Each structure stands twice: as C-alpha cells, then as structure tokens.
A = this chain, B = another copy of it.
Amino acid sequence: MKKILLIAAALLAVTAAQAQQWEPLFNGKNLKGWKQVAGGARYEARDGMIVGIASDTRRNSFLATRRDFGDFILEFDFMTEGINSGVQLRSHKDDERGVVYGYQFEIDPAPRAWTGGIYDEARRMWLYRMTANEPARVAYHDGWNSARIECVGNSIRTWVNGIPCANLLDDADAAGFIALQVHAVGEDMLGSRVCWKNIRILTQDVQKYRTPTPAPEINNVANTLSEAELADGWQLLFDGVTAEGWQSARPAMRGRFPHEGWSIEDGVLWVHAGDGGESANGGDIITTRKFRDFILKVDFKLTEGANSGIKYFVDPFMNKGQGSAIGCEFQLLDDEHHPDAKLGVKGNRTLGSLYDLIPAEHGSWERDNTIDGWSTAVIVVKGKHVEHWLNGHKLLEYERDNQMWNALVAYSKYRDWPGFGNSPDGFILLQDHGFQVFFRNIKLKEL
C-alpha cells in the first residue's frame, strides 16, 4: 500500500511538472500591465472585462501589453457590438507614423465573416484570408466567442470556438506586444463596444501544448517548404539564393545561367529591364529538367507596364531563330499599362490568359490573395487537362491534344509550330520580355 501511494505521489509530481502554466494577462479589476498605444477609443476594466468603446472615427486604437511575447499560446473570450476589431500579436508601434503594425487575429462581425483570419496591420494587409478555409467562416457567432492563438516560431495558428481558422507560416516578426484593437468607426457606430475577458497566456513549453489539428496552411516564408508541403510532395524550383535548377533557354547557352540579364537578391529572382524585346536581353530561362504532370506555383510581382510569362511544355530547340522559346504561356502582363492587353482576340493576351489562345476570366477578385504586390500563378497539368489559376481563382481550363485544340492553335500565332502544346512533357520557362519582373516561391508538385 505504501508502495502504491509512493507511485501515485510520483505520478502526481510528474503531472504537476507537465501542467500548463497559464498566466492571466488581465487581472479582472484594472488595466495593470496594459497601456493604450494608439487611437482615441476608450478602454475600461469593468465587470471582469476589458471594455473598448469606439470613440475615434479616424484612427485604429490599441491597448497593448507592456511586455513583449515571442512564442506563446494565448486564449481569451471576446464579444463585439458589430464593429470590426482584432487582437495584435508580436506587434510594434511605429512612432513615426503613430500606428501599431503587425499580425492581427481578426475579429470580423461583418457578413464576410473572416474572424480568426490573420491581417498584417498597417503593413502587408491580409496574410490569411478566411477564403483559404471556407468551412471555418461559421466559427464566429454573435455574443461571446472564445479564441485560441498559437504562436510558435514561424507558425501562427488560430481557433475560434474550437474550430481551426488560420494556419500561417510567416517570418516577419518573432516577438512583440499583444494589443486589443478597437477599429476606427463611422459616426453611427461611436459608443459601440468590444469586450474581452479571461485573457490568459502560456509561454512555457508551448511546443508541447500545440493543438495537433490546425487549419489549412499558408506558407508565407519565402522560398521554403513547410513540413506539410514536404509531406505533400512539393519541391522548390528556386532556393532563394542560387540559380540552381535554371539555365538559359538559348540552345547555344545550354547549362549556363544568364546572370547578365537575371539577378537573385533577397530571396527574389528577377529579370532585368531591357527595351521590351522578346528574350532580347538576358533571354528566357528554363528549368534544367522537363516536367510532365504537375502543379506549379509561382509568386510574381510586376513593375508598371511589364510583360513576361511562365511557359510550360517548352521545347527550347523548336525555335531556331530570335525570340522566346516555344511553349504554352501563362501570360504575365500589367493589363492596365501594357498595350498587348488590348491586342489579340477577345482578351486572350491579358494577365493569366493562355497567351494568344484562351482568354482568362477576369473578375473583381483579381487582387484577392495578393500580399504586398505579390500574386500567385498556379498552373495545373494532368495529362491533357490544364488549368490556370491566379491568387486562388481559376482563370481558365482546357484540354489539349485534340481536334478542337489543334483547330484553335491553327488560328493563333502558334499555327506553324508542329504539334504545339501536345507534348506530354517539357521544360518550364520564365520569360525575359525586357521588363523588370520579380519571382519567388517557385514550387512544384509532380502528380
């Protein structure tokens, strides 16, 4: 019996050592440990809550912790009287601009229902829109809601009422304050309240207490593959530092990278500005190997008036003359400022179109899911079926290597290239069209 008691005592000791060391961030009585760092909203401790009262029509207001936090798990309950709000994570004050910037756990009572998403306040804006996790848009409801946020290393994950909402990998900030936002409001909403309570934080052994089933992931750490991406079979086609995996598309320069026309800096691969000619400066670059069935993701950023393209099924030996190597092209174009957007047939030379063949379907969502001017092109190839996506929206799809495809090609610029687009595989190409264009996060999954 004594022995059993000893064992029980030992087990209790272990359990105690493993117990989660939660620390309240709000004492329930006053705002000790907090400090208003921006905006004119009023914050009060009342009835065990921190109450933020909308009082500023111009500036967002923030009540920040006096301490900074790096890796942590944060839990709190929140309630808003219809106004937009949020909780800053690892954030900072920009004294020059007089604003708070950094990660924000979104509180969004509007019909869009993006509560639980991650916004980069006063910096890059949306990092994790809830369009990336549609089912979780039902998580938020009127009245009190519970939030859980896990910040560990590059990972920020959120839950609302137990439902996984966001799962972001981002490396902009490793630590900073936590702050309660009361958004600037219209005159009609002055006096509306946002309330928080039961605010507690865990900073010890956070890795151990992470929730094992997060939301779908967005990896915003440049030129890396997350564990989930690796497990899903993704590979990097650009390592962020070297030109490995790429070569000139010019047969005469096979195996060599045209450093005279392309640069790699700060994790970005970019083509130099030239006179706007097709492959006239450094020339196009292609992968060092061919690909057959794949999903290709490329983040790109255009300069004003720029023209470039991502080609696939490329045969670099087909075009013996000047100009770009031959292949199907996901057109990259500043539609607003480059004249080619108006040329071609019914828009088949606009951004995301299959160049000179199939017009992209454009929509008001064109700028959805962009971050800091970066867009994401996705090309899906599965046998004869091909899709073009831009920022999470499907622009077009087609079936190649059939009579209709050949009939369409016969009408286009490509009419004289034998079997255009019908090869089962080919190189992937980034185009030099004489405009400065930036690329990063070039990832491919073979299917």
A interface size (C-beta, 8 A) = 22
For residue A13, CB closer than 8 A to chain B, the reply is: no
**Chain B nearest CB: distance from A362 CB in Å?**
12
Q: A352-385 CB contact bits vs B (8 Å, 1 = yes)?
A: 0000011101000000000000000000000000
Give CA–CA (A415, B344) in the complex, Å: 13
Asked if B397 and A346 sit within 8 Å, CB to CB, the answer is no
- The residue from B399, B405, B410 contacting A348, defined by CB atoms under 8 A apart: B410
A375-424 interface (Cβ within 8 A of B): 396-399, 402-408, 410-412, 415
Beta-carbon contact of A407 and B361 below 8 Å: no
A422 to chain B, nearest CB (A): 14
How far apart are A16's CB and chain B's nearest CB, in angstroms?
Answer: 64
Give the Cβ gap from A385 to chain B, nearest Cβ, in Å. Answer: 11
User: Which of B361, B402, B415 sits near A346, CB closer than 8 Å?
Assistant: B415
Q: Which residues of B contact A408 (CB under 8 A)?
A: 404, 407-408, 411
A397 to B403, CA, bound (A): 7
Of B358, B406, B415, which contacts A403 at CB under 8 A? Answer: B358
Integer count of this chain's copies in the complex: 2
Tell yes or no: A318 within 8 A of B by CB. Answer: no
| Distance, CA A346 to CA B358, complexed state (A) | 19
Residues of B within 8 A of A358 (CB): 403-404, 407
A398 to chain B, nearest CB (A): 4
Given contacts A346-B415, A359-B403, A408-B408, 5 further A-B contacts (CB under 8 A): A358-B403, A359-B407, A399-B399, A407-B408, A411-B412
Q: Is A345 an interface residue (CB 8 A)?
A: yes
Nearest CB of chain B from residue A379's CB, rounded to whole Å: 15
Between A399, A403, A405, A407, the greatest number of chain B beta carbons within 10 A of the residue's beta carbon is seen for A407
B residues within 8 A CB of A405? Answer: 404
* Bound: A411/B345 CA distance, A: 7
Residue of B nearest to A354 (CB): B407
